[in-house]
Amino acid sequence: MRIDILTILPRFFEAPLEEGVLNIAREKGKLSVKIIDIRDFTEDAHRSVDDYPFGGGAGMVMKPEPIKKALDTLRKPERNRQKSKRTILLSPKGKVFDQAYAADLAKETEIVIICGHYEGVDERVRELVTEELSVGDYVLSGGEPAALVVADAVARLLPDVLGGDESLAEESFQTGLLEYPQYTRPREFMNSKVPEVLLSGNHGKISRWRRDMSIEITARRRPDLLTKADLTDEERALAERLKKQQKKETTT
């Protein structure tokens, strides 16, 4: 997969791309990341990428011309098929990013990510993209941290990037539930002991305990996820009991 990231802060990505899963994916040849400096496509001496908003108001707005020129360099072989690559504008107005979205992007061979800045981008930039994406309901200083979130979430889903498919399948959100608690040595720490079931060697009981704990944690912390989770009738009944118990506890 290739990810092209358009930004006005190219150095922001230097260290993250050399660490963790992004570096692993690149070293294994599963991922190529190209950082494109939007300022390279300006025409004035100051390399200006922003200007005052028409109609007044606080802050500055990113100009459309440098962004379009940057995109055109990526689209040359495609001529008139301007939107054929999945081109993502990071924006608080976009669809909220989640695991399903990451899995969908991981199927692509190329994606383009545009990092917004200042008070946003000129509205006409939206005509150049295939979609808008938000990483959550909070404010960032720019799209760069969000671009890393998207790249990392997608990279770890690429084939052979992570060691174990089983581990990947059991992670939070992958099954629609939050992940169960994990323990390692020592068996006792700060007067807290590892649950006996995990020491039993009974893989059936361990699997059942982990599943039940995932349901319990999800019911208590993210009950909204349960509506989409693939649960048996028995598990859904357990989830409903836990949700009612949680509601009762919060009202007493």
| 164 part of a folded domain | no
CATH number at residue 203: 1.10.1270.20
| 63 part of a folded domain | yes
Binned at pLDDT 50, 70 and 90, residue 80 comes out as very low
Domain boundary among 106, 132, 155: 155
pLDDT of residue 84: 59
| CB-based contacts of 31, cutoff 8 Å, min separation 6 | 1, 2, 3, 22, 25, 155, 158, 161
142 and 27 belong to one structural domain: yes
Residue 226 has pLDDT above 60, yes or no: yes
Tell how far CA 8 is from the center of its chain.
21
**Is the bond preceding residue 145 a cis peptide, omega within 30 degrees?**
no
12 and 108 belong to one structural domain: yes
Q: In DSSP terms, which residues pair with 4 in a beta bridge?
A: 34, 112
- C-alpha closest to that of 65 among 124, 138, 9: 124
56 backbone φψ class: left, alpha, beta (φ>0; ψ -120 to 50):
left
Q: What are phi and psi of 198, to 5 degrees?
A: -75, -15
Domain that includes residue 179, residue range: 170-251
User: 155-185, pLDDT tens digit by residue?
Assistant: 999 999 997 655 555 565 767 899 999 999 9
CA–CA dist 233, 242 (Å, integer): 14
70 and 175 belong to one structural domain: no
| 115 part of a folded domain | yes
| 161 part of a folded domain | no
User: 33-44, pLDDT tens digit by residue?
Assistant: 999 999 999 999
76 and 6 belong to one structural domain: yes
Pairing relation of β-strands 192-193 and 188-189? antiparallel
| CB-based contacts of 213, cutoff 8 Å, min separation 6 | 180, 181
214 and 103 belong to one structural domain: no
133 and 227 belong to one structural domain: no
Binned at pLDDT 50, 70 and 90, residue 105 comes out as very high
202 and 101 belong to one structural domain: no
Q: Tokens 């005052």, residue?
A: 52
Show the beta-strand stretches assigned E in the chain.
Answer: 2-7, 32-37, 50-51, 61-62, 86-96, 110-114, 131-134, 188-189, 192-193
On whether the CB atoms of residues 220 and 249 are closer than 8 A, the answer is no
13 and 130 belong to one structural domain: yes
CATH number at residue 39: 3.40.1280.10
110 and 141 belong to one structural domain: yes
| 163 part of a folded domain | no
CA–CA dist 8, 10 (Å, integer): 6
| 133 part of a folded domain | yes
First to last CA, the chain: 52
Which residue type sits at 114?
I
125 and 23 belong to one structural domain: yes
45 and 85 belong to one structural domain: yes
| 93 part of a folded domain | yes
Domain boundary among 102, 131, 155: 155
74 and 142 belong to one structural domain: yes
Domain boundary among 155, 190, 205: 155
Tell how far CA 200 is from the center of its chain.
37
Domain count, the chain: 2
